[in-house]
Chain A
Amino acid sequence: MSDAARARALGILSVLLFFVPLVAPLVQGVTLVYVLSLGWRGSLDRTSMILAASGAALGFVLFLATEYLFIV
């Protein structure tokens, strides 16, 4: 699996698992670190970077909403 595909998969997982405590922020954190490291080296295309980072960010927002707005 290429770096780009791995980053995109992590981004999707970050969203899909948003309601799983502990696991969700872990996956989102790993995604962010992965994207940051690839981005720092300039070895990730813009689309994959935006997809993965957005997935991590959206997943984290949804995770926080589930954790703190649990009366929905």
Chain B
Amino acid sequence: MDAPSSTPSFTRRAFVRTAAAAGIGGAYLGGAHLLLQDARWTPNLSFWVSRGRDPAGPPLRGEREADLAIIGGGVTGLSTALHALLRSPRLRVVLLEAHYVGFGATGRSGGVLGNGTEMGTPPGTGENVAQVIEIVDRFGIGCDLERAPETQLDPYRYAVGLKRTVLGLGGAIHEGSRVRSLEDGQTVTVRGDDFAVRAPKVIVAANGYTPRLGIGAARLFPAHTAAAVTAPLPREILRDIPDSILVMTSGEMYMWGRKAPGGRVLVGAGARYLYDNGLNYTGDGFLFPALHRTLVKSFPALAGHPFEHAWTGPMGCTTDQEPIIGTAGQSGNIVYCGGYTGHGIAMGTKAGSFLSDMLHGQSPPAWMLRPTQSLPGEPLRYIAINTVINMMNLGLYHMDKHV
């Protein structure tokens, strides 16, 4: 034990008093903010969905045989079903969605379309936006598509339009049908609480939810992101806001946004991984004030215009921020796809056509089949992912992008 040095020690009483005061003060200031909840915040329920939900079809009951089972009613799953049915109209396609079509990252996105991925424009992705426009026009999907100066749409209505098109082509879509497990084999059995679907090919298009099915957990992870929309704004303020917003925050993370229908501004930012691929973000009093502050930094005129509706939810990510296609199961007939890192509307539509091509014996672009850094199990997974996210926020970590 070291003897006290020349500087005098605290008396025990002074030490306890100081430590107690600091502890109580810190707990009060931090705890009060952590307990704050924002009544405008509705986890998972985006502005798009809040404008009116399409009636969901009946959940699946009993047993069913299919040629192709698709898990996930987002853009990827719906686009896969659409392209598969366009190529093989007699294919028996069954799509299973745990909640309702467009519930996931599809319906929560901003609906801003861009070619390529988060990291650039890898081969085969240069015409992604044109493909979405072609689908919207060909099938008459009403989704508030704006073609110029920025291509953007209502992502939920786009998903609903894809759903109706798939149903019109003879596909079966069952909402409220949560898949619990997959039994591997030449014929895969997809099981839920009240149903079983047997199919020789299964596409897992659950994106950020994929690891919860025990598939692709070493390559895909869900990251929660936040978005919010203002109330309708006066014309003179709206005039100075660009159609598409992309603001770098302090590091590599950025705030994205757009003008939304009704003279509103919609923005989103942030990423956070929850322990063990957690899907329920409980929120706190810091999140949306921080998002509003970031918005006001770039557009000071919005200072007096708080958010009217705010939401969070997981999106699928990979370690290199590029989407992937992978296979699982002994026969390789379970194929998963995801990890768009917030660029999923156009890229997910394209991925659906890649997956459909795969079903017909064609290979997707090699970059989508690339090996990726394997993610460890918990708790290292939580530490590694959030450390990198924090470092990106702080500007301490950068990733190489495609040119």
Binding site for B on A (CB under 8 A): 2-4, 19-23, 36, 39-47, 49, 57, 60, 64, 66, 68-72
Q: Does B286 contact A (CB under 8 A)?
A: yes
Q: Are B7 and A47 in contact (CB under 8 A)?
A: yes
For B391, give the chain A residue with the smallest CB separation: A19
Q: Are A72 and B5 in contact (CB under 8 A)?
A: no
Partner of B284, one of A21, A39, A57, A68: A68
Q: Are A23 and B10 in contact (CB under 8 A)?
A: no
B286: chain A residues at CB < 8 Å are 68-69
Binding site for A on B (CB under 8 A): 1-10, 12, 15, 19, 22, 26, 30, 33-34, 226, 249-251, 253, 255, 269-272, 284, 286-287, 290-291, 294, 379, 382-383, 386-387, 389-391, 393-394, 396
Q: Are B291 and A42 in contact (CB under 8 A)?
A: no
For A65, give the chain B residue with the smallest CB separation: B286
The distance in angstroms between the C-alpha atoms of A49 and B5, with both chains bound, is: 12
Query: Which secondary structure dominates where chain B touches chain A?
Result: mixed
The distance in angstroms between the C-alpha atoms of A66 and B290, with both chains bound, is: 12
The 4 closest A-B pairs by CB, nearest first: A19-B390, A45-B5, A68-B286, A21-B386
Q: Are B287 and A19 in contact (CB under 8 A)?
A: no
B8: chain A residues at CB < 8 Å are 46
Q: Are B393 and A70 in contact (CB under 8 A)?
A: yes
Q: Are B287 and A71 in contact (CB under 8 A)?
A: yes
Q: Are B12 and A40 in contact (CB under 8 A)?
A: yes
A45: chain B residues at CB < 8 Å are 4-7, 9
Of listed A2, A45, A64, residue having the most chain B CB within 10 A: A45
Partner of B251, one of A41, A43, A72: A72
Q: Are B33 and A68 in contact (CB under 8 A)?
A: yes
A23: chain B residues at CB < 8 Å are 383
